A and B are shown apart, each in its own frame.
Chain A
Amino acid sequence: MAGDGIWPWLFIAPLVAGISVFYFWPVLQTAFYSLTDWGVFGGWTFAGFANYVTLFADPALYLSLGNTLLYTAIVLLGIPIAVYLASLLNLPGLRFAGLYRVLFFLPYVAMPTAVAMVWRVIFNGDFGLLNHALAIVGIDGPYWISTPGAATVAVAIVGLWSSLGFSMIVLAAGLKNIPPEMYEAAELDGATRWRQFRSITVPLLTPSIFFVTIITVISSFQLFDLLYAILGSSNPVLPKSMSLVYFFYREGFVNNDKGYAAAIAMVIFLIIGIVTAIQFRLQKRWVQGD
C-alpha cells in the first residue's frame, strides 16, 4: 500500500518524541524494575519473576481487580445517560441549553478534594442526606463509606457524577458533526423523536461513543484519588475496597516495596491493554464509518 511519504512522520514526530522520552521511557524502566528487588531510594538486585509469582498469589490483586471492575461498570452506566442528555441539549431551539450545559459541567470543574468533603457529608451513615432521602421512601441506607461493597458503589456514584460532564462535552462535539438535514428528512418521513434518536443520533454518534467508552474504561481503571479522598486514609474498609491503582500506591509509596509495585503497575498496564484491545476489535461491529 502506498504511503504518504515523509509527511506523516513530520506530523507525528514532535508528539512521538515527547511521549517517548517522558512516558515510554518511564514505562520501560518500570518494566525492568518489576523484575528486581528495588530499593526505596534506588539500587536494585535482580529478582527474576519473583514479584509476579508473589503477585499472582496475592488475594489483594483479585480483590482490587474486582472492586475496580465494579466501579468501572457503574461509571459506564453514565455513557448512555450522557448520550441521551447530550442529544436533548442538542435539540434545536432548546432554551437555556447553555445554562444546562454549565450545570452538567460543574462537577467536572470542581476541585476533587473540596468536593470529596461534600460527598462525605452526603454519604454519612447516621446524618447523611442520602440516607435521609432513602428513609423517606422506607429504605434503611447502609453506612456508605464504611461498609465494603457499599463504599465502592458510593465512590462510583461520585465517579459517574464527575465524569458525566466530560462525556457530554465530547458527545456534544460529535453531535455537531451530524447534519441537521438528516433530521429534517426523517421528520418529513414522520419519524418520532425517539425513532430519530435511535436511527440517526446513536448510529452517527458511534465514533464519539466509542471514544468516550475507551477513555471512561481507562480512567476508571486508574481509580485512585477519588477513592482516597472519599473514603479517607484511615478508613478500615479501605483494604477491602481498594482499587488496582490504590493497591499499587500502597505497595510502592506506603509499604515501600517498589519492585512489587512495579510488577503491579505492569499487570494493570496489561489488563487495561487487553480490555482496550478487545474494545477496538469490537468497534468494527458497532462503530460506523471507522
Chain B
Amino acid sequence: MTDRTTFVRTRTVDSVPAPVLGRGAPSTTARTARTRRGRRGGSHVVAHLVLGVGGLLMAFPFVWQIIMSLSTNTEVQSVTPVFWPAELQWDNYARVFDRLPFLSQLQTSVTITVIRTVAQILLCTLAGYAFARMRFRGRGLLLALVLSILMVPSQVYLLSQYQLVQGFGLLDSLGGLVLPGLFSAFGTFLMRTAFLAMPAELEEAARLDGANPFQIFWKVMLPLAMPSISVLAITTVLWSWNELLWPLVVTTFSEKMPLSAGLATLIGDRTTDYPVVMAASLLAMAPVLILFIVLQRRVIDGLASSGLK
C-alpha cells in the first residue's frame, strides 16, 4: 500500500547519515538522528533563556493556585497577599470529596469527553478533508456557512438547543449532554487547514493504484494528519472538560453532571470557600494535564522522530 511505501521512504531518509558540514555545534556522539539535528544552529542558550523565563511567567498563576489550594480561606482572600500559608491545609483536598460526588462526576466527564472527541475527530477529518481536497458544487458557500456558526455568541444557541434536545426526549440524559458537542465547525476548519498543506502527489499515486476516495482518505491522508488530529483531540478534550453552561442547563442530577458543572456549584452567591474551589479545579484538571503530557510526547514527538510528518 501507498502509505506503507511513504512510511518506508521517509524512514530511509531519516536514517541517512547526517551531512557532515554542521557549523559550530559541539558534536558529541555522532551517528544518531538526534545529534545530527543537535549540530545545526549552535548552542541553545538563548532558547533556554527565553523558554525558561517565559515558561515560569506562564506557570506562575498556576503555581499560585496550588499554593492557594493549600491555604485557609482567610489567607486566600487576605490583603496584603499571603504567599505561603501558615500551615499547609491538605484537608482542602479531602473536603472536595465531601462536597462533590467527585468520582461519579469524573466518570460523566470522561464519558462525554471520549464520545465527543471520537465523534469530532471522525466527523471533522471527513468534512475537513472534503473541504480541502475535493471538488464539489457549493464548496465555498458550505464552508463559509459552517464557519459562520463560530461567529455567533454561544449563548445564542442555548435555548434552541435545549428545546431541540427536549424535543428528542433527551433532557437529563447522556445523549442530551453530548449531542450538540459532537459537531464542530472549529474542528472542521482545523482539519481543512491540515489537509490543505499536504502534497498532492500521494493522492495521485494512490488513485493510480485504484484506491477509492475513502481509501485514499483513510489509508493515505489520515495518518499524515496525525499532528493536527492530536491538536483537535487536545482542544476538544479541553473544551468538553471545561464546558459549563450546557451541562448545567440540561442536567438535573448532581451525579449526572460532569465535573466542570460540579465545580461551579462550589461557588456561592455570597460566600465561597476558595481553597476548596482551587483544590477541586486542580484535581479536575489533572487528568487533562496528564493526557497532554502523554499526547505531546507520544504523538507529536513520536510522529516527528518516526519521520511521519
- Asked if A and B form a direct contact in the complex, defined as CB atoms under 8 angstroms apart, the reply is yes
A interface residues (Cβ-Cβ under 8 A, vs B): 1-4, 7-12, 14-16, 18-19, 21-27, 29-30, 84-85, 88-89, 91-115, 117-119, 121-122, 124, 126-127, 129, 161, 164-166, 169-170, 172-174, 176-177, 179-181, 183-184, 187-188, 190, 193, 196, 207-208, 210-211, 214-215, 218, 221-222, 224, 244-245, 248-249, 252-253, 262, 265, 268-269, 272-273, 276, 289-290
Q: Which of A22, A101, A113, A248 lies in contact with B157, CB distance below 8 A?
A: A22
B170 at the binding interface (Cβ < 8 Å): no
Bin the interface of chain B by size: 35 or more
CA distance A175 to B292 in the complex (A): 18
- A170: nearest residue on chain B (CB-CB)? B231
B185 at the binding interface (Cβ < 8 Å): yes
Contact between chains at B44 and A95 (CB < 8 Å) = yes
Please, which residues of chain A bring their CB within 8 A of the CB of B79? 124, 126-127
Within residues 59 to 118 of chain B, which ones have a CB less than 8 A from any CB in chain A? 59, 61-62, 64-65, 68, 76, 79-81
Within residues 176 to 223 of chain B, which ones have a CB less than 8 A from any CB in chain A? 179-180, 182-183, 185-186, 188-190, 193-194, 196-198, 212-214, 217
Q: Could you tell me the dominant secondary structure of chain A's interface residues?
A: helix
B263 at the binding interface (Cβ < 8 Å): yes
Please, which residues of chain B bring their CB within 8 A of the CB of A95? 44, 48
Q: Taking A11-B127, A121-B81, A173-B227 as contacts, is the C-beta distance between A249 and B58 under 8 angstroms?
A: no
Q: Which of A96, A98, A121, A290 lies in contact with B196, CB distance below 8 A?
A: A290
Binary contact readout B290-305 vs A (1 if CB under 8 angstroms, 0 otherwise): 0011001100110110
- A161: nearest residue on chain B (CB-CB)? B58
Contact between chains at A103 and B34 (CB < 8 Å) = no
Contact between chains at A26 and B157 (CB < 8 Å) = yes
Please, which residues of chain B bring their CB within 8 A of the CB of A207? 193, 196-197
Q: Taking A12-B142, A23-B149 as contacts, is the C-beta distance between A222 and B292 under 8 angstroms?
A: no
B169 at the binding interface (Cβ < 8 Å): no
Contact between chains at A4 and B142 (CB < 8 Å) = no
CA distance A265 to B19 in the complex (A): 58
- CB-based closest 8 A-B pairs: A92-B37, A93-B38, A26-B160, A103-B55, A18-B183, A11-B130, A173-B227, A272-B151
- A sample of 28 inter-chain contacts (CB < 8 A) reads A4-B213, A11-B127, A12-B130, A19-B183, A22-B180, A26-B152, A26-B156, A92-B34, A92-B36, A94-B44, A104-B55, A106-B58, A107-B62, A108-B238, A110-B285, A111-B285, A114-B65, A118-B61, A127-B79, A161-B61, A174-B197, A187-B41, A207-B193, A211-B193, A221-B151, A249-B155, A269-B148, A269-B152
Contact between chains at B126 and A12 (CB < 8 Å) = yes
Contact between chains at B289 and A109 (CB < 8 Å) = yes
Contact between chains at A102 and B227 (CB < 8 Å) = no
Contact between chains at A98 and B297 (CB < 8 Å) = yes
- A206: nearest residue on chain B (CB-CB)? B197
Contact between chains at A253 and B58 (CB < 8 Å) = no
- A113: nearest residue on chain B (CB-CB)? B267
Contact between chains at B157 and A23 (CB < 8 Å) = yes
Please, which residues of chain A bring their CB within 8 A of the CB of B285? 109-111
Q: Smallest Cβ distance from B204 to chain A, in angstroms?
A: 14
Please, which residues of chain B bring their CB within 8 A of the CB of A105? 292, 296
Please, which residues of chain A bring their CB within 8 A of the CB of B159? 26
Please, which residues of chain A bring their CB within 8 A of the CB of B154? 222
Interface centre among A85, A110, A268 (most CB of B within 10 A): A110
CA distance A53 to B182 in the complex (A): 37
Binary contact readout B32-43 vs A (1 if CB under 8 angstroms, 0 otherwise): 001111111110
Q: Taking A109-B289, A211-B190, A252-B155 as contacts, is the C-beta distance between A98 and B59 under 8 angstroms?
A: no
CA distance A276 to B127 in the complex (A): 20
Q: Smallest Cβ distance from A69 to chain B, in angstroms?
A: 15
CA distance A129 to B23 in the complex (A): 44
Q: Taking A22-B164, A109-B289, A121-B81 as contacts, is the C-beta distance between A179 and B149 under 8 angstroms?
A: no
Please, which residues of chain B bring their CB within 8 A of the CB of A164? 58
Q: Which of A94, A265, A276 lies in contact with B156, CB distance below 8 A?
A: A265
Q: Smallest Cβ distance from A235 to chain B, in angstroms?
A: 16
- B47: nearest residue on chain A (CB-CB)? A88
- A262: nearest residue on chain B (CB-CB)? B156
Please, which residues of chain A bring their CB within 8 A of the CB of B300? 172-173, 176
Contact between chains at B64 and A193 (CB < 8 Å) = no
Interface centre among B13, B123, B131 (most CB of A within 10 A): B123
Q: Which of A129, A196, A211, A273 lies in contact with B148, CB distance below 8 A?
A: A273
Q: Smallest Cβ distance from A127 to chain B, in angstroms?
A: 4
CA distance A7 to B136 in the complex (A): 9
CA distance A22 to B134 in the complex (A): 25
Binary contact readout B117-161 vs A (1 if CB under 8 angstroms, 0 otherwise): 000000110110111001111010010011111111111110111
Please, which residues of chain A bring their CB within 8 A of the CB of B196? 207, 289-290
Extra pairs beyond A111-B263, A111-B284, A262-B156 (17, CB < 8 Å): A11-B129, A11-B130, A11-B134, A11-B213, A22-B161, A22-B164, A22-B183, A30-B160, A93-B34, A94-B48, A102-B293, A109-B292, A113-B277, A127-B80, A172-B300, A173-B231, A207-B196
